[in-house]
Amino acid sequence: MKYCFGIDVGGTTVKCGLFRTDGTLEEKWEIPTRTENHGEAILPDIAASILEKMKERGITREMTAGVGVDVPGPVNENGEVPCAVNLHWGYKHIAREMEALTGLKAKAANDANAAALGESWRGGAAGIPNVLMATLGTGVGGGIIVDGRIVCGAHGSGGEIGHANVEPEETEYCNCGNQGCLEQMTSATGIVRLAKKELKSSDDSSVLRQSQVTAKAVFDAYKQGDELAGRVVKKFASYLGRGLAIFACVTDPEVILIGGGVSKAGEPLIEAVQQEYRKAAFPTCKDTPIKLAVLGNDAGIYGAAKLVLQG
């Protein structure tokens, strides 16, 4: 048992990783995600790529602990998903299908959950068994690690913190159909939404008036001292910080990680969030460190690989 595979399935690309069981990433590569015909080729394509890689490297099944797969969808503990919209999937028993296709032990998880597990294995929270991770991208995902394992929950919705209702007064709708979700305030698109509101509500000058408003532009302007951008970041940080403080009352993580494209804004983002987090956090949790995730787009393959090592 020297190797395992970690596979991160996205809507356009599948990221594949060959790992040593000690967590060393030996090689990574990508294959396209073929979503046509209800995405029926996705798992067979992955299996073929894995078997080819094993052949190429002379890796036998006996040398392989297994393959972990993460997908954008609510995966339960058994590795089943009721549906995964971006992959055009309905119900699928991912783990069982992958086992049949490869002859290897297989596990599956939600992608944001896998990212959190990856970060707690070899990333920003390496070796820490109790972690909460928020992934701020186009949407907001999350992962809860307790005792070193993903909390999947009863419906595979463990860690769906992007849909925590943090604004009961919100009138616009989230993609999930609710109103006031954290995702509407703190995703890349959510930040743009907050910024546009702020731009509309005043005539204050701002560099944000001179170009396309993106989450990156907001944080860049903030770092340059733009006051209007500062108000947007403050609002973003207040929603996220207070949300994280609430979540910390549930599982009391040892460390909170922030990842995803938005987190490229770096330490100024962390500082703004930490400040708001402290205001709302339960006294014993006020000093819980909030840190940047470090594995970037590789977090998923690390977490997926770790899955099969957990038995």
Angle at CA of residue 147, ends 146 and 149, nearest 5°: 65
Task: Report the residue from 1, 100, 126, 249 that binds a copy of itself according to the rule CB under 8 A.
Answer: 249
Helix 188-201 to helix 215-223 angle (10° resolution) is 60
Q: How far is the CB of 88 from a copy of itself (least distance, A)?
A: 19
**Does 144 help bind a copy of itself (rule: CB under 8 A)?**
yes
By CB under 8 A, what part of segment 76-115 binds a copy of itself?
A: 82
**Does 275 help bind a copy of itself (rule: CB under 8 A)?**
no
Question: Count of residues binding a copy of itself (CB under 8 A)?
Answer: 50
- Do the bridges between strand 140-146 and strand 131-136 make them parallel or antiparallel, or are there none, so unpaired? antiparallel
Is 113 within 8 Å of 101 (Cβ atoms)?
Answer: no
Question: Residue 29: which residues within 8 A CB-CB, separation 6 or more?
Answer: 16, 49, 53
- Measured CA to CA, the distance from residue 65 to residue 74 in angstroms comes to 24
Is 137 within 8 Å of 110 (Cβ atoms)?
Answer: no
Comparing CB distances to a copy of itself, the nearer of 71 and 161 is 161
By CB under 8 A, what part of segment 166-185 binds a copy of itself?
A: 166, 168, 176-178, 180
Comparing CB distances to a copy of itself, the nearer of 1 and 249 is 249
Task: Report the residue from 68, 137, 139, 158 that binds a copy of itself according to the rule CB under 8 A.
Answer: 158
CA 243: distance to chain centroid? 16
Comparing CB distances to a copy of itself, the nearer of 29 and 282 is 282
Is 75 within 8 Å of 110 (Cβ atoms)?
Answer: yes
Task: Report the residue from 48, 199, 246, 294 that binds a copy of itself according to the rule CB under 8 A.
Answer: 246
Comparing CB distances to a copy of itself, the nearer of 80 and 254 is 254
CA dist 230 → 220, 224, 238 (Å): 10, 10, 12
Comparing CB distances to a copy of itself, the nearer of 22 and 91 is 91
Comparing CB distances to a copy of itself, the nearer of 18 and 245 is 245
* Binding characters for a copy of itself, 197-236, by CB under 8 A (x = yes): ----------------------------------------
Q: How far is the CB of 153 from a copy of itself (least distance, A)?
A: 2
Strand ranges of the sheet holding 290-292, from the earlier edge strand across to the other edge: 149-150, 140-146, 131-136, 255-259, 290-292
Q: How far is the CB of 185 from a copy of itself (least distance, A)?
A: 13
Query: Locate tokens 């299996």: which residue?
Result: 47
Task: Report the residue from 41, 280, 294, 309 that binds a copy of itself according to the rule CB under 8 A.
Answer: 280
**Which region, judged by CB under 8 A, interacts with a copy of itself, from 9-17, 57-65, 152-160, 198-206?**
152-160
Comparing CB distances to a copy of itself, the nearer of 197 and 209 is 197
- Do the bridges between strand 255-259 and strand 131-136 make them parallel or antiparallel, or are there none, so unpaired? parallel
Exposure string over 28-56, b if 16+ CB within 10 A, otherwise e: eeebebebeeebeebbebbbebbbebbee
3-class DSSP assignment, residue 235: helix
| Phi, psi (deg, nearest 5) at residue 187 | -80, 170
Residues near a copy of itself (CB under 8 A) are 74, 82, 130, 142, 144, 146-147, 149, 151-166, 168, 176-178, 180, 238, 242-243, 245-254, 279-285, 288
